[in-house]
């Protein structure tokens, strides 16, 4: 009998610690429990006095494609029926408990005590996209694919760290990203301020390691103090407050009502399965070439 490997691995070499997503068969989509474990691993490296800088990376073709949707469905009870035979609808109070945990996970990375560098290849979507927006530095492959495609589930703008997104991209660009959910590559990520560097895929790991080594030349106290002051500056701009708004916003955003002629991802999944639901979602939101430049 073999023991299943954890969803997140911790690696250490000298002053560099690494958090490695370890679900390549799932494109590193994480369950809610996996995300909690990721934060515990982050704290372990934060508390290791030998570690100065942390690299966040993923095994396989993709960095992280968000939360494992099968687990999301199970956690929110979307696969259950109530006593009356109708689809089960979780109470607001129970959803708030789950969403508060999500806020804590995101805040752990925004307010990490030590610098975190994301090494991004393949797709960064949903939870994976949020992490790239919350960490200190991002080094990505030229052909990496970023998007807020989770907005195509019907959220159309609700997010946890909207204030930081506005600071990063500007208000109009944020609205575009959240309303359209369009995909962009590594070079575009640098251009709009999400990533610090974009390199060919075969240079991604070596470049990220060099950046980490350069960061690690700083004194330990200077790194931690500098990050603490940076976090205080973010908080003076409403960082923590926005996460708290995000808890309520996410709960409301996942309890939307849909009109009969509106695309409902969860209904599509129930009736046609997860794969077909994703395909139909993308078709429903696909840009119309005939009107794209109008």
Is pLDDT larger for residue 289 or for residue 40?
A: 40
Where residue 284 falls among pLDDT bands split at 50, 70, 90? confident
Structural element, H or E, at residue 238:
none
Domain ranges across the chain: 8-256
Where residue 292 falls among pLDDT bands split at 50, 70, 90? very low
Report how far residue 205's alpha carbon sits from residue 133's, in angstroms, rounded to the nearest whole number: 19
Q: Give start and end residues of each alpha helix (H) in the chain.
A: 32-46, 69-75, 92-110, 127-134, 162-169, 171-180, 186-192, 204-215, 220-236, 239-253, 265-272, 274-285
The answer to whether 101 and 36 have CB atoms below 8 angstroms apart is: yes
* pLDDT at residue number 3: 61
* pLDDT at residue number 261: 84
Where residue 294 falls among pLDDT bands split at 50, 70, 90? very low
**pLDDT surpasses 50 at 290:** no
Where residue 289 falls among pLDDT bands split at 50, 70, 90? very low
Would strands 116-120 and 137-141 be described as parallel, antiparallel, or unpaired?
parallel
**pLDDT surpasses 90 at 50:** yes
pLDDT digits (tens, 9 = 90+) for 126-161: 999 999 999 999 999 999 999 998 888 878 888 899
Report how far residue 45's alpha carbon sits from residue 39's, in angstroms, rounded to the nearest whole number: 10
* pLDDT at residue number 287: 65
pLDDT digits (tens, 9 = 90+) for 215-267: 999 999 999 999 999 999 999 989 999 999 999 998 888 887 888 888 888 77
**pLDDT surpasses 80 at 116:** yes
Q: What is the mean pLDDT of the chain?
A: 91
The domain defined by 8-256 folds into: 2-enoyl-CoA Hydratase; Chain A, domain 1 (3.90.226)
pTM for the full model?
Answer: 0.91
Average pLDDT over every residue of 43-53: 98
**pLDDT surpasses 70 at 1:** no
* pLDDT at residue number 6: 97
**pLDDT surpasses 70 at 170:** yes
């Amino acid at each position: 009998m073999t023991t299943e490997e954890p969803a997140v691995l911790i690696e250490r070499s000298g002053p560099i610690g690494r958090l490695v997503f370890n679900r390549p068969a799932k494109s590193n989509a994480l369950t809610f429990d996996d995300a909690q474990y990721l934060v515990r691993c982050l704290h372990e490296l934060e508390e290791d006095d030998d570690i100065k800088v942390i690299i966040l990376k993923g095994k396989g073709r993709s960095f992280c494609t968000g939360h494992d949707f099968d687990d999301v469905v199970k956690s929110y009870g979307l696969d259950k029926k109530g006593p009356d035979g109708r689809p089960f609808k979780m109470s607001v109070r129970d959803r708030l408990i789950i969403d508060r945990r999500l806020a804590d996970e995101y805040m752990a990375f925004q307010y990490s005590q030590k610098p975190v560098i994301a090494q991004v290849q393949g797709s960064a979507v949903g939870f994976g996209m949020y992490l790239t927006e919350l960490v200190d530095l991002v080094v990505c492959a030229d052909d990496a694919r970023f998007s807020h495609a989770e907005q195509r589930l019907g959220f159309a703008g609700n997010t946890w760290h909207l204030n930081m997104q506005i600071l990063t991209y500007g208000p109009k660009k944020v609205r575009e990203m959240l309303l359209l959910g369009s995909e962009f590559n590594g070079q575009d990520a640098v251009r709009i301020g999400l990533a610090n560097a974009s390199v060919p895929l075969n240079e991604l790991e070596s470049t990220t390691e060099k950046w980490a080594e350069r960061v690690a030349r700083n004194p330990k106290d200077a790194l931690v103090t500098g990050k603490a002051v940076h976090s205080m500056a973010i908080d003076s701009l409403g960082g923590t407050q926005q996460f708290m708004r995000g808890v309520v916003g996410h709960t409301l955003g996942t309890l939307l009502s849909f009109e009969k002629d509106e695309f409902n991802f969860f209904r599509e999944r129930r009736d046609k399965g997860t794969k077909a639901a994703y395909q139909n979602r993308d078709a429903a939101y696909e840009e119309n070439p005939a009107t794209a430049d109008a």
